[in-house]
Structure 1
Amino acid sequence: MAVLAGLAMAGTALVALPVAAQDQGKTIVGGFDVGPGGFPGNFNPLTATAGFTWLNTYYEPLVTYTADLAELTGELAEDYSTSEDLTTFTFNLADATWHDGEPFTSADVKFTFDLAMNAQSGSIFAARLGDVVSVETPDEKTAVVTLSGPNGGFLSTISQLMMLPEHILGSMPAAELAQSDWWSTSPVGTGPFSFVQYVSDQYVELEAFEDYRDGRPQVDQLINRYFADPAAAVAALRAGEIAFTYAEPDDAGSFEDDADFSVIVGDSFVLNYIGFNHRTELWDDVRVRQAVMHAIDRDAIIESLYNGAATKAQCNYVAPQYVPDDLVDYSYDPEKARSLLAEAGWDQINGTREISWVTYYDSPQVANIMAAIQSMLAEVGINVVPRVVDVPTYNGIVRGDDVDQFPMVYAGAGNGPNPAQHNINLNSGQTPPNGNNIMHIALPELDAALETAMSEADPEQMAARWQDVCRIVNEEMPWGSMWVANRYGIASNALENFVWTPAPGGGPFEMNPEDWDITAE
């Protein structure tokens, strides 16, 4: 569970503001998008796979996770109910207002769902919401969503579906909306802060929304600065230019004894994996995929490069309730790896050709991890060449058709709190543009197990169904599950009532930014 920051004044760190925000009142500046998945221009919540810590300051979903990620709770839905068979979801809406003063109603809910289910909008939810049969609006404050069958992961899915204003976007064709600059110039939400401006590649400025339903925020401005890498953000934090940032483990450790800062640490809930592009012949034989696992000394990497702050994964889960006891360990065994490769005919499949290994992680830690794995794989005759690209480039590559560009990836996938999250990564029906199965995994047995688990309505049987998924992933190795690491944030003790949780994609979760405050000399 994450350690949350509810910080009182314990230091005198001053925040240097971007010019646009100087002398305009109390301001919090942070590197809220730094770290894996954070990048300038990630403004459209229908296409975003990360950055929700920031997006959730001005947009809001119907439901969200509690700050400890333990359970779902209402956000724009004041409360909600679910039918016993998990097919009907009724949302009673909060008395909320859009930033332009218009009321938030059930028409906005229906509009958002319809737009999210329309693949022309570029929405990553198109396949995830494929079982939605109807969205009914019996009155302005009630929305009823009906599914074609039970779906235990539905509420978790829509926790990342930010509500959008029908009265503004309803007349815009979905295909045009996908490429619109509205998202980065004049977006309108219902959250505690409203959009002011985006200064390209530098920062986004928000201002307090006076009519926010839970009261006006404590600060006047909220600013998200962008950094080329986590190290640059840490330097800005030390210099007093920002009050919060994500940090790599080594950087986080350097703040442990600093009285002006608090280190926030928790499970990242992100599985790091080696992705095998199933559209290439390289990985057709499961013995090759298993050989990759035996060639990598995961224990040594966790100990030396994570300082022990990671948990080895034997399937796509590490939460004990989803991990059965009868899994293959895939211990470090180079001789077994060589034997498996020989049995599979690796010399004929690939020989000594170099394999491009693509990632969007650009931190020194990951560079060291990939270099270590590169060396280990070379020892058994698998020659990979790491290639680091920025997030937009990565997304373009893995959602494209040129498989030679990404025969292999190193990436992360949300590992909780809802096990159904991995359906979009592993189910053959979730390949782009519908879902996030970027490796084009197509294993009928795995599909069947995922769909059975997704439709399980009996809470007492759900864990067993997800164990079935874990067992198949462990045996068939659709991707190489590596580890789930801790994640760190550093907050200035000048912050008050600040909440941040290491969470997949940044959440969203109950962080109550309207309560954040900052004290300075």
Structure 2
Amino acid sequence: MKKSLKKFFALTATTFTASATLVGPATAVLAQEEGETAEGIQEFETVVQNDAESIEGGTLHFALVGDPFAGVLNSMLYTGNPDSQIIGFFHDGLYGYNENFEIDNSGFADVEFNQEDSSVTFTIPQDAQWSDGEPITIDDVIFPYYVIGHPDYTGVRYGQAFTNVVGMEEYHNGDAEEIAGLNRVDDYTLTVSFIEFTPSMLQASGIPNYVEPEHILGEIPVAELEDADAVRSTPVGNGPFRLVSITPGEAITLEANEYYYLGRPMIDQVVIEVVNATSAVAEMRAGNYDLAALPADQYDTFADATNFQVLGELQNSITYIGFKLGTYDVENGTNVMDDSRVTNNKALRQAMAYAIDNDAVGSEFYSGLRTRANTHITPNFSDYHADDIEGYPYNPERAAEILAEAGFVDNDGDGFVEDPNGEAFTLGFASMSGGETAEPLAQYYLQSWQAIGINVELVDGQLMEFNSFYDRVEADDPAIDVFQAAFGTGGDPNPSGLYSRDSQFNYSRFVTEENDALIAAIESEDAFDPEVRQQAFHDWQAYMMEEIPTIPTLYRYNLMAVNNRVKGYDMAIGTDVKWTEIGLTAEQPATE
């Protein structure tokens, strides 16, 4: 399948809550002794195993697990993941990318970067057609710039990738009728000039990735696009299938697109139906569907399935524990550290990292579907992730040593250490409610830190609702010293958006000149050299794991259940498998 479609499958958001057979919070996790290898961590294949011969045609049944879809079936306008999964069946993006989300020529267009003049040239196939048979030209690549940059645009994608285009802001503000940075070379070639040219532009989210049917959407006022039939009920795409019918919010039927630029898919028809998460496992076991992103918190209920295989891929997201080290100065747009906070003592942070057993947390709390994080870059960015960094494996004895060496000593015999100035302190821990795991996991962390003599308590004595949690974390509520959250990196592992001096998402408020320099090295011109870029990422990870303003705790798995009759399916990021190679080996899905 092309990467635009594969992306929706591989990155499908799955709810990770409790294991169906969750054991006691502290007793189970603390049972692992220091130095033991974690047991129970799962390993998954990304490619389905099926050596049978494919039949001709057939209908693939796809379970869209979760709530009803909104039905905004356009890449420029959708916001929900269910809509994005549907779009992936009938519409490809402009370009492809590899396993590190680096843009390559595996997609619809060939992409040529020109660092010297800060431009990117896109070349599309000359004989490509939309699913309605109309030819695709470079005007269909230019068109999305004028939609997303339009002042009446109702979507959420007018961001850095567009504002960096020469002349875009002038067009957006009504000061120009045309976007100066768009140079239409011929019917199949476009050169886009950018204001700044950085290594992040080589990543999948760094430049616009849109091609849209101007001959249809261009007839609709931009302000009315989101509710138009051409978006809601009769979308036209350039992907492997085309939409036949839709039951709003519930189901979609698609058929093979004979105009697909890579050739007609092997499968004749795809039927997509919304399936509630509580019944998805039973539906797959009954053989009612061929593909489903099953809830990871139900893994124990389908791990033994015989009629479908479970594929898995590490997400580009991390669960972490952060330390509040300062505040965000709104007036000056910068983070400011507060040296008076006890959390600004690096030894305290390191000790708290060693005190928690994330190997066992992944095994016991999440059925082995999460694994201990060793750096702030996820392993799916294989060229940039520093797998030689050990991180902070469970070592409470080392934690105690670090505290003692730094002057954290229990002077009054109450079981909790005082700070190096002899002052008692209690840290406020903020964590979100939701799911059966939230409370016992928070209690486990509290007990682990208390076990090494650090007094940590839940803020307000309870877990926080999602929106309240982020409101208070973003506002630097003084009651919060430590917090548990998660972040996703999208297609670009550049840490500036999460850890730079001026980023509001730098919730720990960590700021140092060395961190500035290390991030600058990642974004520098020298980093266009792959070896320099890799080393820059490794240097930053090593520094962050030493300073540990946030503790990366767990990497997460995405799971996809694939019926035994499906052949050729691959959910790996950067896969070159296409829908023209995916087939069915039986008329109906296998049952148990």
Report 1:293-372 matches (<5 A): 293-294=353-354, 296-306=356-366, 310-317=370-377, 318=379, 319=382, 321-323=384-386, 329=392, 331=394, 333=396, 339=408, 343=419, 357-358=431-432, 369=441, 372=444
CA drift of 1:241 comes to 2.0
Moved more, 334-343 or 266-275: 334-343
Asked if structure 2 preserves the Cα contact closer than 8 Å seen for 1:311 and 1:483, the reply is yes
Tell me whether 1:460 sits opposite 2:523 in the alignment. no
The CA deviation at 1:373 is 3.9
Match of 2:50 in 1: 7
Return the alpha-carbon distance in structure 2 between the equivalents of residues 187 and 344 of structure 1.
65
Structure 2's unaligned 5+ residue stretches are 1-43, 167-180, 329-335, 410-416
1:144, 1:216 → 2: CA distance?
30
TM-score, length basis structure 1: 0.73
Q: 1:414: Cα distance to partner?
A: 3.5
Matched, 1:195 2:238: no
1:242 CA displacement: 1.4
Identical positions, percent: 21
Q: Would you say 1:221 and 2:278 are equivalent positions?
A: no
Instruction: Please give the secondary structure, in 1, of the residue aligned with 2:540.
Output: helix
- Does 1:240 find its partner at 2:287? yes
AA of the residue aligned to 1:520 = E
Q: Report whether the alignment pairs 1:485 with 2:556.
A: yes
Do the aligned partners of 2:212 and 2:237 also contact (CA within 8 Å) in 1? yes
- The residue type paired with residue 493 of structure 2 is P
Flag the 1:90–1:160 CA change in 2: closer, same or farther, 3 A: closer
Question: Is 2:427–2:457's contact at 8 Å kept on the other side of the alignment?
Answer: yes
| Cα shift at 1:440 | 8.8
The amino acid of 1:238's aligned partner reads R
Shift in Å, 1:172 = 5.5
The RMSD of aligned alpha carbons is: 4.8
Q: CA offsets, 1:185-223, max 9 Å, x none?
A: 343321112234554543343333332222333334323
Cα pair 2:323 2:550 within 8 Å, conserved: yes
The code of the aligned residue for 2:545 comes to: N
Contact 1:109 1:163 in 2 (8 A): yes
| Structure 1 unmatched ranges of 5 or more | 13-24, 432-436
For residues 212 and 172 of structure 1, the distance between their equivalents in structure 2, rounded to whole angstroms, comes to 25
Q: Which letter does structure 2 place at the counterpart of 1:323?
A: A
Structure 2 contact 144–212 (Cα < 8 Å) conserved: yes
CA distance in 1, matches of 2:552, 2:253: 38
What is the alpha-carbon distance in structure 1 between the residues aligned to residue 271 and residue 438 of structure 2? 28
CA distance in 2, matches of 1:170, 1:463: 42
Superposed CA deviations along residues 257-298 of structure 1, whole A, max 9, x for unmatched, are 654222323333432334678768999754486676455331
Q: 37, 40, 45: which one pairs with 2:69?
A: 40
Superposed CA deviations along residues 8-29 of structure 1, whole A, max 9, x for unmatched, are: 55999xxxxxxxxxxxx94322
Deviations 1:146-190 (A, max 9, x none): 333432232423488342333444465656656878644343321
* Residue 63 of structure 1: how far off its partner (Å): 1.6
Alpha-carbon shift at residue 492 of structure 1 (Å): 0.5
How do 1:368-379 residues align onto structure 2 when only pairs under 5 Å count?
369=441, 372-373=444-445, 376=448
Report Cα offsets for 1:393-415 as digits up to 9, x if no partner.
89x977998777x9755334148
* Matched residue, 1:59: 91
Change (3 A) 1:324 1:28: closer
Q: Distance in 1 between matches of 2:392 and 2:223?
A: 47
**Residue 494 of structure 1 aligns with which residue?**
565
Query: In 1, Cα distance between the equivalents of 2:273 and 2:352?
Result: 39
Q: Identify the range of structure 1 (136-145 vs 169-178) with the bigger mean alpha-carbon deviation.
A: 169-178
Indicate the SS of the match to 2:360.
Answer: helix
* Bigger Cα displacement from structure 2, 91-100 vs 445-454: 445-454
Distance 1:218 1:324, change over 3 A: closer
1:74 counterpart letter in structure 2: S
- Over 3 Å counting, the alpha-carbon distance change for 1:312 and 1:415 in structure 2 is farther
Query: Partner residue of 2:9?
Result: none
Q: Deviation per CA, 1:483-502, whole angstroms, max 9, x where unpaired?
A: 2234332210122333323x
The equivalent position to 1:209 in structure 2, one of 257, 261, 265, is 257
Aligned length: 483
How much does 1:142 deviate?
A: 0.5
Give the corresponding residue for 1:450: 519
Q: Please report how far the alpha carbon of residue 7 of structure 1 lies from its aligned counterpart in structure 2 after TM superposition.
A: 3.4
Q: Pairwise mapping of residues 151-190 of structure 1 onto structure 2 (< 5 A)?
A: 151-158=198-205, 161-170=209-218, 177=225, 183-190=231-238
Is the 8 Å Cα contact of residues 354 and 392 (structure 2) preserved in structure 1?
no
Give the superposition deviation at 1:126.
0.6
Match of residue 59 from structure 2? 27
Q: 1:65 to 1:328 in 2, by over 3 A?
A: closer
* Mapped partners of 2:105, 2:438: distance in 1: 35
Stretch moving more, 285-294 or 133-142:
285-294
Structure-2 change in CA distance of 1:274 and 1:102 (3 Å): farther
Deviations 1:39-66 (A, max 9, x none): 7337453464856554322221122235
Measure, in 1, the Cα distance between the counterparts of 2:92 and 2:129. Answer: 11
Query: Does the C-alpha gap of structure 1 residues 33 and 140 become closer, same or farther in structure 2, counting only changes over 3 Å?
Result: farther
Structure 1 counterpart of 2:124, which letter? L
In the alignment, the residues of structure 2 paired with residue 472 and residue 401 of structure 1 have an alpha-carbon distance, to the nearest angstrom, of: 24
- Contact kept, 8 Å, 2:123 with 2:189, in 1: the verdict is yes
Q: CA deviation at 1:233?
A: 1.8
Distance verdict in 2 for CA 1:115–1:475, change over 3 Å: farther
> Is the CA contact (8 Å cut-off) linking 1:86 and 1:149 kept in structure 2?
no
